[in-house]
Structures are given as structure tokens and as C-alpha cells.
Amino acid sequence: MTETILLDRHGAIALMTINRPEKLNALNYETNDLILKHLDEIESDDRLRAVVITGAGHRAFSAGGDIHEFSESIKAGPDIAVRDFCQRGQRMTGRLEAFSKPIIAAVNGLAYGGGCEITEAVHLAIASETALFAKPEINIGIPPTFGGTQRLPRLAGRKRALELLLTGDSFTAARAYELGLVNAVVSPDKVLETAFEMAERILRHSPHAAARIISAVTRGLNTSIAEGLSIECEQFARMASTPDVYEGLNAWIERRSPNYGQAQGK
């Protein structure tokens, strides 16, 4: 049986591939659950310090939820549909968003529905020039269910997000960049390479500092500025007496590159 999520290790970078190309990498329940399983494995492996997530093939990053599967949950009633579909998807995107190691989406094709919501949730994203995005859930009579009504307005602004959510219209990678959904748009043959290059730029730095930055931004984004600043101080305090801080300070004073070691999570 073919694994619907492939996990490969490239040094300190984990490559997670959504592997249902014949279904445009649609997110069935098994795929969703395997993403969570592999994230647990990656988080517990100190040798892995960053994640790149992409889709198999050249047509799609992910076309969204598997409609044939979740329609059966909807037919079973609202309680079942919320539990099996909505809450399952929200657990997955919430885990991506709050993950302690940087996650970069390499969007190599269609990113519709849940695929777009994964892109919204991860920390960074690179898109192919030919990638297309959409919030098409309204076309089948439902709102987005994996966090799209909440994260897209925070990224793009309320009115621009509502236009996309209420029309279901697709939009280009260039538009996604303008909206703040992706960090860069590159040629199709450079998507994965650029995502790995971005990961390598992050790997030069302390993994503990990276985790603290991600936590501060994720937790502070929807709070008042005063609460956010308190979170920032809390994250700084967790780093202030660590070996990484001393190494970083000493390297700066001695005008050399810091050496945070190979197994940096230990």
C-alpha cells in the first residue's frame, strides 16, 4: 500500500511529501493523521531542525479535502462531520502553525481549500510561478474548515480575505505573494531548491532561538501589544542563560561564526 505521506531526511531538513498525485494530493483522513504522526517524529528527533512540505507530482501541492470522503461524514450528521472533518483538519493546521521547528511549504501546483490552509498555517512558503490558490469551499455550500476563515484575514486583511472566501475565485502565485501568503515566487523547477535554501539560511542559527521566535509570534499575534510584549520577554528569559546565547555572544565578540553543534536539540 502506498504511503499517502512520504518522509525523507536531507541532513537536518525533513522533507514531507503529500503523496496522492492521482487525487491532486487531496487530504483524506489518513493523510491528515499521517501529517500529525510525522510531525511528532520530527519534533522528537534533535537531528532534524527544519521541515519542507510539498506535494507529489507537478500538478498540485494539495487540492484540499477529499470531498468523496468527508461528504460521507456530513451525511452522518453535524456532530460526526465536525469531529471527523473539521476538528481533525484544525488539529493538523494548528500543529503546523505552532510547531517548534520552522516549516516551509514548497507550493508546486494547485493549493486549494485545505492546501491553501496548510500554506496559511506554516511559517514560510515558496510558490511556483504556475501555482494557483483558491478558497473554493463556498462552491459546495460550506465555509472553510481547517482555519481558513481565521488565518487568511490575519494575513491578507479582512476585506481582501472576504473577497476570496465569498467568491471562491482562484488567484495566482503573484497575488498570493501580494497578500502575504507566500514569501517568494520562483520558476517551477526552483521551488523545492529555494525552500531548502531558505531552510539552510535558518539552520545557521540557534534552533532554540528559532523555536522561541516561532512561539512568540504564534502566541502573540492575536493578543494585545502589552500581552505580546510580555510573551516576548518570557521567550527571551527562556533563552537568556542557555549555552546557545553564550556561544552566540562569544562568537560575535570574537568575530567568528557561532558553532551551535551538530545535535543542537540536546
Catalytic annotation, residues: 117, 137
Phi then psi for 53, rounded to 5 degrees? -120, 135
Quick count: other Cβ atoms within 10 Å of Cβ 87? 14
Phi then psi for 57, rounded to 5 degrees? 80, -170
Buried (b) or exposed (e) across 238-254, using 16+ Cβ within 10 A?
Answer: ebeeeebeeebeeeeee
Quick count: other Cβ atoms within 10 Å of Cβ 41? 11
Q: How many angstroms separate the Cα of 82 from the Cα of each of 73, 98, 141, 147, 260?
A: 8, 22, 15, 13, 44
Cα gap 24→19, rounded to integer Å: 9
The three cell numbers of residue 264 are: 543542537
Cα gap 60→71, rounded to integer Å: 22
Which helix (H) or strand (E) covers residue 197, if one does? helix 191-203
